[in-house]
């Protein structure tokens, strides 16, 4: 299957916040799926939610009451960070989040207005409550790392305490210990550039924002995590397979994230008794991905990606944000008490395929 280079580049840019150069944006590579539910498994939500998820509930078998979960990178209801938060809340966990400062006020206003209520519904009919929202820019480890251009930026006006170190201290002051840490963040300022055209600065920025930020989060939050807790991040198949258009060093950053997951699993396990895992999710029709302009007479990139997955994955079925949310809940629960250092694929098995069975070269065999 062939895509135009412009379509691929635009898709990658929309996926990973290429417009955010100096700061750290929440990952929008994934989001809510169009509701096409299987009546045997899913309960359809209201028809007005065009990009609403379906409810695939396993919270009844998991009890996270009394557990505190900090999710870094939530700024709306369209990402996997939100889906994981909702799944954890459905199991009884207390939800607190870190939000990129430039969109903090918009997110808080949306919460206050009830803009996300329809996406907050839990299995018992109640609404997910986000107990507290902290400003968080995860490219800065401590106050000394924040340059004057950020301090004087109007989008950061009136805000302080948004470095990872400061947020960890604030969470400790408010909640004491936490049990679950979720890294739902990624940014590559040169993601639209092929690797051969990526600058050193752009490459290192992608690595800093998308990979080292997870290391720093665990460094600062690990000491306030209860034994048996879990850190979870989100990765992408470009870490190990070539995805044309996913440039700017982002594929390298995801490979780093997965490698660091294994090393941190050992180090954090021995030091704090904390588990460390990551989820590699398949293509999902999010709001951000659906907004990508398509080439005349062609589908959008995400539509191609979903169709490609259905045509080639072992399981030819839709992927929903709740699938990833529930996988995150499982990994964060006592059910996974012996699971650590794992990259869990939630992609209908697409990662296992080495050949595109819908390829033109396979056309005679497929007939």
The residues assigned a catalytic role are 236, 246
β-bridge pairing 94-99 and 275-281:
unpaired
Angle at 199 between CA 198 and CA 200, to 5 degrees: 125
Contact yes or no for 225/272 (Cβ under 8 A): yes
Cα–Cα dist 213/220, whole Å:
11
Number of residues in the chain? 367
Cα–Cα dist 226/223, whole Å:
8
State the DSSP H helix or E strand holding residue 233, giving kind and residue range, or none if neither.
strand 225-235
CA dihedral of 222, 203, 134, 259, whole degrees rounded to 10: -30
Contact yes or no for 262/217 (Cβ under 8 A): no
Residue 303, by phi and psi: left (phi above 0), alpha (psi -120 to 50) or beta? Answer: alpha
* Three-state secondary-structure class, residue 320: coil
99 exposure class (CB count in 10 Å sphere: 0-12, 13-18, 19+): buried
Contact yes or no for 137/72 (Cβ under 8 A): no
Tokens of residue 44, six digits: 């359809």
Contact yes or no for 54/87 (Cβ under 8 A): no
Q: Comparing C-alpha atoms, which of 242, 285, 292, 295 is closest to residue 11?
A: 292
Please tell me what DSSP assigns to residue 13: H
DSSP string, 50-110: TT---B---GGG---TT-EEEEES-SSSSSHHHHHHHHHHHTT-EEEEEE-HHHHHHHHHH
- C-alpha distance across the termini of the chain, in Å: 17
């Amino acid at each position: 299957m062939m895509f135009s280079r412009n379509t691929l580049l635009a898709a990658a840019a929309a996926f990973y916040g290429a417009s955010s150069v100096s700061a750290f944006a929440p990952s929008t590579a994934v989001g809510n799926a169009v509701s096409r539910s299987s009546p045997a498994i899913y309960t359809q939500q209201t028809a007005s939610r065009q990009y609403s998820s379906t409810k695939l509930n396993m919270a009844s078998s998991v009890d996270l009451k009394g557990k505190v979960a900090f999710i870094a990178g939530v700024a709306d209801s369209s990402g996997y960070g939100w889906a994981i938060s909702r799944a954890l809340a459905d199991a009884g966990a207390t939800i607190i989040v870190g939000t990129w400062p430039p969109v903090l006020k918009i997110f808080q206003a949306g919460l206050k207005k009830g803009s996300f209520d329809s996406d907050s519904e839990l299995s018992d009919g109640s609404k997910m409550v986000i107990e507290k929202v902290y400003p968080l820019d995860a490219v800065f480890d401590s106050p000394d790392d924040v340059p004057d251009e950020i301090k004087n930026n109007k989008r950061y006006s009136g805000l302080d305490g948004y470095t990872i170190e400061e947020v960890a201290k604030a969470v400790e002051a408010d909640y004491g210990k936490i049990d679950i840490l979720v890294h739902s963040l990624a940014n590559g300022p040169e993601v639209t550039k092929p690797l051969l055209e990526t600058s050193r600065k752009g490459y290192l920025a992608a690595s800093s924002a998308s990979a080292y930020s997870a290391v720093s989060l665990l460094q600062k939050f690990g000491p306030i995590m209860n034994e048996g807790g879990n850190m979870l991040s989100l990765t992408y198949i470009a870490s190990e397979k070539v995805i044309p258009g996913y440039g700017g060093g982002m594929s390298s950053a995801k490979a780093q994230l997965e490698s660091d997951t294994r090393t941190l699993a050992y180090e954090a396990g021995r030091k704090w008794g904390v588990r460390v895992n990551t989820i590699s999710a398949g293509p999902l029709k999010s709001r951000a991905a659906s907004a990508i302009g398509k080439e005349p007479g062609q589908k959008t990139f995400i539509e191609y990606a979903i169709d490609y997955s259905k045509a080639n994955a072992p399981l030819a079925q839709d992927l929903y944000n709740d699938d990833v949310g529930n996988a995150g809940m499982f990994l964060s629960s006592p059910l996974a008490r012996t699971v650590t250092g794992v990259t869990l694929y939630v992609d209908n098995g697409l990662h296992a395929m080495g050949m595109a069975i819908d390829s033109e070269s396979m056309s005679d065999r497929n007939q």
